[in-house]
Structure 1
Amino acid sequence: MEEYRGIKFRVIFLEHKPISSKKIMEMLKASRSLQEFSRGNEGNISLRFQEGMLISAAGSNLGKLGKEDIVYVKNYDMLHNTAYIYGKKEPSSETPMHWLIYKEMKNVGAILHIHDSLVLENEKIILKLGIKMTEKEYSYGTISLAKEALRTLMKSENGYIILRNHGSLIVGKNLSEVIDKAFSVRGKLRENLLAEK
């Protein structure tokens, strides 16, 4: 997995202060349930919101998000690789991927990206469970990765895919659904690992 070196797109702050919404509290509550999936500043979570999306900030700890760790991305211009945001921090490095998925998959209301080592270390079992994996490996935070993730999601029946040598990407109607999928896949994986012993 590539070493994290920050975001790879331009950020324009439309307003440089935290935003206020009940949806932020929903995201903070959801993030608390993800502590076992988060190691330091890995992973990100987002929610479709108004004209754009709410997303965790770059470098934030997914399992311990605070109000200032949620950013409103009003627009992301793929042509110029620029995010237009409200918030105090830069949005997640995976903003291009989240944005493209919301743009192309209108039924998606929430996205979760985690680096679950248990899943990555047991690729063969994961594939047997019917989970799709991206064909190619791309650098994090790039439009190429976003497009590859979208292609793979379009083939997925359960909204859970593996980004090759990177992590899991989970989409659903809401935060509860994506979190349930994360725990469900991990549970099925553990069952299979126990059965192999």
Structure 2
Amino acid sequence: MGSFIVTGEKNPFLSWFTAGLKDVFSSAGYRYAQKLEEAVGIVFHCINKERPRPFRRKAQATFVVSILEREDEPEHVFKSAYPYLIKSLANHLIYIVRTSEKTDVYFVTPEQGFYKIPYNPGQEAFFFRRVFKRLEPIASSQLVINNHFSEDLHETLANGNEITRKISLSGKKLDKMNLLPAPFPLEEYLTFRDMRRLKKLYGIGGLSFGNLSSRQDEKRFWMSASGINKANMKVIGQDILCIKGYNPEKNAMEISIPPHVTPRRASVDAIEHWMIYKEHPNVGAIVHIHAWIDDVEATEVNYPCGTLQLAEAVAHLVRNADDPSRAIVGLKNHGLTITGRDLDDIFERIDGRVKTQVPML
């Protein structure tokens, strides 16, 4: 089991709440760190409504769950909560709305995951078990967000090819679908420095709208980079990356780039795409969107984006599809991963079927 720690400013209610978190996680075998360690897996970070200061990670693979309490009912809970997730640079937000009549605990994710657990006095054990069930996938997950770049992309591919040009055209199609998940202009909430940290720590470039990839050969595939304008992908090594593998020892995606290029990071979903391409030779392209299609089979657990566990869960659903090369699978509270013979095949199959609102379960 991993380790966890509680930090930040705590009022009496948050002291009670975090003590409950400590007990339920410790009972499940997680180790409470007496002091912050670089290897700590998850941080429960209490923040102040007026000064939501971020927790400064010492390790990129540390998950941060910000916790905020307010004592009045906002008109729009999600809209009032989401900026605190961004301002505190967290992977997850626990937003507690406590009034004289009731206490509701909301869970908010960067992809607009949003659901609540009500607290009923006298049912503490049951309540914290439900909270643990929501948070345990975060605590047990392994992020795959490291990149290892090699300047070994052959000169014949340094300026792209027909496959990368098709990715660029498909990015324009994705842009027209208007699936950008972030409901706020992030630059209005974050300083330039914090915006830069957000892109680095989330590895999703300030919440860009999905990603797409296409196979180059049996070992490599091209994929849109993290945090770019999908409607304007041009530069190989920056907008479009050549993914050549996954290094489990370094827990990093291996990426080929042309010489003298300052690369952008790979999408956090690169590990998921790699697993699917590796197992299914007939898969020629993959598209991931933060949207939904009715009657799709979805992962059972809400694993965080960019984790080995989410990639394995998606790969399992693709494997069990009637035709893995043309599968549409759901990622619980997150979106869709769609495989196809090529990118045109994918966009033709989903045309007119996509719903922008992902159901939250």
TM exceeding 0.5:
yes
| Shift >6 Å, 4+ stretches | none
Q: Secondary structure at the match of 1:33?
A: helix
Find out whether 1:154 has 2:337 as its counterpart: no
Aligned 8 A contact 1:19 1:71 in 2: no
Aligned 8 A contact 1:38 1:62 in 2: no
Q: Structure 2 residue aligned with 1:104, among 271, 274, 279?
A: 279
Q: Secondary structure at the match of 2:264?
A: coil
Aligned 8 A contact 2:147 2:265 in 1: yes
The AA in structure 1 aligned to 2:320 is: K
What is the CA–CA distance in structure 2 between the aligned matches of 1:184 and 1:152, rounded to whole Å?
Answer: 23
Shift in Å, 1:79? 4.8
Q: Structure 2 residue aligned with 1:144, among 263, 287, 309?
A: 309
Q: Structure 2 residue aligned with 1:30, among 146, 152, 170?
A: 170
Find out whether 1:3 has 2:110 as its counterpart: yes
Find out whether 1:77 has 2:247 as its counterpart: yes
Shift in Å, 1:83? 1.4
Shift in Å, 1:66? 2.9
The AA in structure 1 aligned to 2:256 is: Y
TM-score, structure 1 normalization: 0.79
What is the CA–CA distance in structure 2 between the aligned matches of 1:56 and 1:21, rounded to whole Å?
Answer: 13
Find out whether 1:53 has 2:53 as its counterpart: no
The sequence identity of aligned pairs, in percent, is: 26
Shift in Å, 1:82? 1.2
Q: Secondary structure at the match of 1:93?
A: coil
**Superposition RMSD on alpha carbons, in Å?**
2.5
| Change in 2 beyond 3 A, CA 1:8/1:85 | same
Which runs of 5 or more residues in structure 1 are unaligned? Answer: 191-197
Q: Secondary structure at the match of 2:274?
A: helix
1:133 maps to 298
| Change in 2 beyond 3 A, CA 1:34/1:134 | same
The AA in structure 1 aligned to 2:148 is: I
What is the CA–CA distance in structure 2 between the aligned matches of 1:166 and 1:104, rounded to whole Å?
Answer: 23
Shift in Å, 1:102? 0.4
Q: Secondary structure at the match of 1:165?
A: coil
Find out whether 1:43 has 2:210 as its counterpart: yes
| Higher RCO (CA < 8 A, seq sep 6+) | 1
Which runs of 5 or more residues in structure 2 are unaligned? Answer: 1-107, 112-142, 181-206, 258-262, 357-361
Query: Is the radius of gyration larger for structure 1 or structure 2?
Result: 2
Give the structure with the higher percent helix: 1
The AA in structure 1 aligned to 2:146 is: R
- After TM superposition, the structure 1 stretch with the greater mean CA deviation from structure 2, 149-158 or 46-55, is 149-158
Deviation string for 1:18-52 (max 9, x for gaps)? 93221211110111111124416120001111331
Find out whether 1:167 has 2:296 as its counterpart: no
Shift in Å, 1:133? 1.0
Find out whether 1:12 has 2:152 as its counterpart: no
What is the CA–CA distance in structure 1 between the aligned matches of 2:341 and 2:248, rounded to whole Å?
Answer: 24
Shift in Å, 1:155? 2.7
Aligned 8 A contact 1:170 1:181 in 2: no
Q: Secondary structure at the match of 1:11?
A: strand
Q: Secondary structure at the match of 1:153?
A: helix
The AA in structure 2 aligned to 1:76 is: Y
Shift in Å, 1:180? 1.6
Q: Secondary structure at the match of 2:212?
A: strand
TM-score, structure 2 normalization: 0.45
